[in-house]
Amino acid sequence: MQISLSDLVDSCSEEIYLELDTYKKDKGENLEFLKELKKVLEKYNKPTSQVEYLISELEGNTDYQKVINIFGIDEKRILYYIKKHPYFKNPCDYPIRLITIMKYLKKKEISLHYRDMDLIVDKLILQIDGVKKVGDGMYLKK
């Protein structure tokens, strides 16, 4: 059974979820395919933000701000849970590691499977008053 391309595009919901392993050797083919897919989606007035993100990943222009916008990551919720972490409630004289905070967020059912999620969490930790970065992935609150 064959389905025409326009019927297939019309049957898609407004949001499509795309995932691509960008570490494979055939980046050129994937890049070419995604550019063609973007043209088809634009032709039928469908959202292309995720396709644009994958294209930028393959071209090496990753930007974690795009991840926040495309996947709708709730920064306020993440910041709320970071502030609820026992270390930030009762700081001491030793630094906390980023991996510890990431594990805490995972325990609180925050989705961490997005690319560059560590950079997003790093940026949010540094927004807390009195927190300074003392090393790679190490934070100290005074």
The 10s digit of each residue's pLDDT in 30-48 is 778 888 888 888 888 888 7
Q: Residue 12: what pLDDT?
A: 53
Per DSSP bridges, beta strands 96-97 and 131-135 are: unpaired
The 10s digit of each residue's pLDDT in 57-90 is 776 655 666 667 667 788 899 999 999 999 998 8
Greater pLDDT, 88 or 54: 88
Q: Residue 1: what pLDDT?
A: 46
Interatomic CA distance for residues 125 and 128, integer angstroms? 6
